[in-house]
């Protein structure tokens, strides 16, 4: 009896530690940045991504591929993210259209990660009426060029 109880206990511990719910699988989010009025793909120099978990926040810099798409690999514990495009000096400066109406502060907007994987997420386009669709695992956001006044105050 004692031997079988110990075996059951050991198997129970093994099942708990090896269960899929405890595994933190890496998954990839495809990032697509579109010009707000034309819907054309914009290729930034880099994407700046803030990722949040319940324990930490991290800034990640992603270089897009030749097509202009970013590939963000996230751990299973990442719950939210915020994305901005960045450019090298001398390049165009863009404003995210989910924050374009936030005066000159350009607040970061945060998006839940689970819906990105289940159905895809399109950030609001407050710069025009243009819409887009996202596939599961894809995050799409709109940008517009920064105007002269915004550049002056940036």
pLDDT, tens digit, for every residue of 10-35?
444 434 444 444 345 889 999 999 99
With vertex at residue 91, the alpha carbon angle to CA 106 and CA 72, rounded to the nearest 5 degrees, is 65
Which pLDDT score is estimated for 94? 82
* pLDDT given at position 89: 59
Residue 36 is part of a domain; what is its CATH number?
2.60.40
In a domain, 1, yes or no: no
Q: Is residue 11 in a domain?
A: no
In a domain, 83, yes or no: yes
User: Distances in Å between the alpha carbon of 143 and those of 22, 23, 64, 124, 125?
Assistant: 38, 36, 16, 10, 8
Is 4 within the bounds of a domain? no
Residue 16 in any domain: the answer is no
User: Which regions of the chain are under pLDDT 70?
Assistant: 1-24, 87-92, 100-107, 148, 150-154
Rounded CA-CA distance 35/143 in Å is: 5
Domain of 57 in residue numbering reads as: 25-153
pLDDT at 86: 73
Tokens standing for 105?
Answer: 């502060």
Q: Is 13 inside any structural domain? A: no
Q: Which of 80, 87, 86 is nearest to 29 (CA)?
A: 80
pLDDT at residue number 84: 84
Q: Is residue 7 part of a domain?
A: no
CA distance 39 to 130: 7
In a domain, 3, yes or no: no
Q: How many domains does the chain have?
A: 1
The phi, psi pair for 149, rounded to 5°, reads -70, -40
Provide the CB-side half-sphere exposure for 66 (13 A, CA).
Answer: 0
């Amino acid at each position: 009896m004692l031997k079988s109880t110990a075996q059951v206990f050991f198997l129970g511990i093994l099942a708990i530690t090896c269960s899929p719910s405890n595994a933190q699988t890496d998954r990839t989010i495809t990032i697509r940045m579109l010009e707000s009025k034309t819907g054309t793909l914009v290729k930034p120099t880099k994407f700046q991504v803030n990722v949040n978990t319940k324990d930490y926040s991290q800034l990640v810099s992603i270089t897009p591929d030749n097509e202009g798409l970013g590939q963000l690999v996230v751990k299973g514990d990442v719950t939210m993210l915020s994305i901005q495009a960045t450019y090298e000096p001398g390049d165009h400066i863009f404003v995210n259209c989910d924050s374009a109406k936030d005066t000159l502060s350009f607040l970061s907007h945060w998006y839940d990660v689970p819906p990105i994987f289940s159905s895809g997420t399109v950030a609001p386009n407050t710069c025009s009426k243009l819409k887009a669709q996202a596939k599961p695992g894809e995050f799409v956001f709109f940008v517009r060029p920064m105007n002269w006044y915004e550049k002056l105050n940036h």
